[in-house]
Chains A and B, each alone.
Chain A
Amino acid sequence: MARRIVITSGKGGVGKTTVCVNLGTIISNIGYRVLLVDGDFGLNNLDIVMGMENKIIYDIFDVLQGRCRARQAVITDFFNDNLSILPATKFVNSRAVMASDILRIIDELDTYFDYILIDCPAGIDQGFVRVLNLASEALVVTTPHISAVRDAEKVINILRNSGYSVLNYVLNRARGDLILSGESLSISSISEFLGINLIGVIPEDDEISNQLMIGGSITKGTDAFYAFRSLANNLAKGKSDIFDCTKKYKGTMGYFRRILRKIV
């Protein structure tokens, strides 16, 4: 049976889809078969971040309408046989899609994959509730901003009340220079506020913006890549190696990097 993980946040724009794609890519590179499910009906963009927007023939709604089988709607990455996506539709009123229908499709695909990562829509309304019953493990994505942490805390409460047994969080877009200079919330205080395990820290990195423009996975050797690799190892292999986003801003050279970053 596949390990199903809902990737959620509450607040929009914190990087759920980016985390979903890069985490899925690296886990698939380890050797696991990974399915990324776009749970955002009407505002789907998982296919765009993956660079697969032109390869979609069928989507979840076509499966629900009986126009194809679930397996036919799954698109496998051109460069990576272990990585696939199940796209959502952008033309349908999301209210037409029922939670039980999606669960049926996921159950049908379950045997083909080791990991199923479900990219949640932003917010805590119907779209979010619809994907709640698909898994019992969640990865909450937040940024070190007050509004994002507050929304993440609300989502964590809802997940707990919904019976989620495994809850971890990822701190995305962390600025090591601002954390060190005290201009950002500290990682320890965010962990204290959220009250769940920190499983990864992803630094703010131009490489991720480039990836979003081109589509596909991030370039090896960048800070973002190492951070996602640590996250994937923590999740898939049970390690506890958190990427240190402050490391390159420590010491004399780090001090100059901090000044330079402020000037630029």
Chain B
Amino acid sequence: MDNTSMQAYGEGRLRNMLIRDRQDNPQKINRILKSEILYVLKNYFDLKDYDLDIDVSLGNNGYYHLSIQADCHNIKSVSYIS
């Protein structure tokens, strides 16, 4: 391997590592976020863990996209909440 390609190879390796690190982050955040949001939403809705879908993904522009979706069959009555 010549020197120029060695530098390019090293930089490519580093770039891939950093991208993998960032992609790994949303999965960890997903788990923590889901449990916390579920805790809050359960005060208002009859929700099960599998009813809630949270997705944090890394877009090509470097921004994270966050989407929260939930299906529930019942909303708690206002009197019960208060």
List chain A residues, Cβ under 8 A from B10.
146, 184-185
Of B11-19, B43-51, B66-74, the one touching chain A: B11-19
Q: Does A112 contact B (CB under 8 A)?
A: no
Given contacts A185-B11, A189-B11, contact A150 B6 (CB under 8 A): no
Q: Are A183 and B7 in contact (CB under 8 A)?
A: yes
How near does chain A come to B82, taking the closest CB pair, in angstroms? 36
Q: Does B36 contact A (CB under 8 A)?
A: no
Q: Are B3 and A146 in contact (CB under 8 A)?
A: no
Task: Please report B residues at the A interface, Cβ cutoff 8 Å.
Answer: 2-4, 6-7, 10-11, 13-15, 17-18, 21
Counting chain A residues whose Cβ lies within 8 A of the other chain, the interface size class is 10 to 19
Given contacts A146-B10, A189-B11, contact A183 B17 (CB under 8 A): no
List chain A residues, Cβ under 8 A from B11.
185-186, 189
Pick the 4 closest A-B CB pairs, nearest first: A182-B3, A182-B7, A182-B4, A146-B14
- Other than A146-B14, A182-B7, give 9 A-B pairs with Cβ distance below 8 A: A146-B10, A146-B13, A154-B21, A182-B6, A184-B7, A184-B10, A185-B10, A193-B15, A193-B18
Specify which of A150, A182, A184, A186 is in contact with B18 (CB 8 Å cutoff).
A150
Q: Are B7 and A150 in contact (CB under 8 A)?
A: no
Q: Does A111 contact B (CB under 8 A)?
A: no
Q: List 22 A-B contacts (CB under 8 A).
A: A146-B10, A146-B13, A146-B14, A146-B17, A153-B18, A153-B21, A154-B21, A181-B3, A182-B3, A182-B4, A182-B6, A182-B7, A183-B3, A184-B10, A185-B7, A185-B10, A185-B11, A185-B14, A186-B11, A193-B14, A193-B15, A193-B18
Question: Which residue of chain B has its CB nearest to the CB of A144?
Answer: B10
How near does chain A come to B32, taking the closest CB pair, in angstroms? 14
Q: Are A150 and B17 in contact (CB under 8 A)?
A: yes
Q: Does A120 contact B (CB under 8 A)?
A: no
Specify which of B2, B3, B4, B21 is in contact with A150 (CB 8 Å cutoff).
B21
Given contacts A150-B21, A153-B18, A153-B21, contact A183 B6 (CB under 8 A): yes
Within 8 A of B (CB), among A67-120: none
Question: Which residue of chain A has its CB nearest to the CB of B13?
Answer: A146
Q: Cα distance A193–B12 when bound, in Å?
A: 11
Q: Does A141 contact B (CB under 8 A)?
A: no
Q: Does A149 contact B (CB under 8 A)?
A: yes
Q: Cα distance A155–B2 when bound, in Å?
A: 32
Among A154, A182, A183, find the residue whose CB has the most chain B CB atoms closer than 10 A. A182
Q: Cα distance A186–B8 when bound, in Å?
A: 10
Q: Cα distance A153–B15 when bound, in Å?
A: 11
How near does chain B come to A193, taking the closest CB pair, in angstroms? 6
How near does chain A come to B16, taking the closest CB pair, in angstroms? 10
Q: Cα distance A149–B10 when bound, in Å?
A: 11
List chain B residues, Cβ under 8 A from A184.
7, 10
Q: Cα distance A11–B36 when bound, in Å?
A: 32
Q: Are B7 and A149 in contact (CB under 8 A)?
A: no
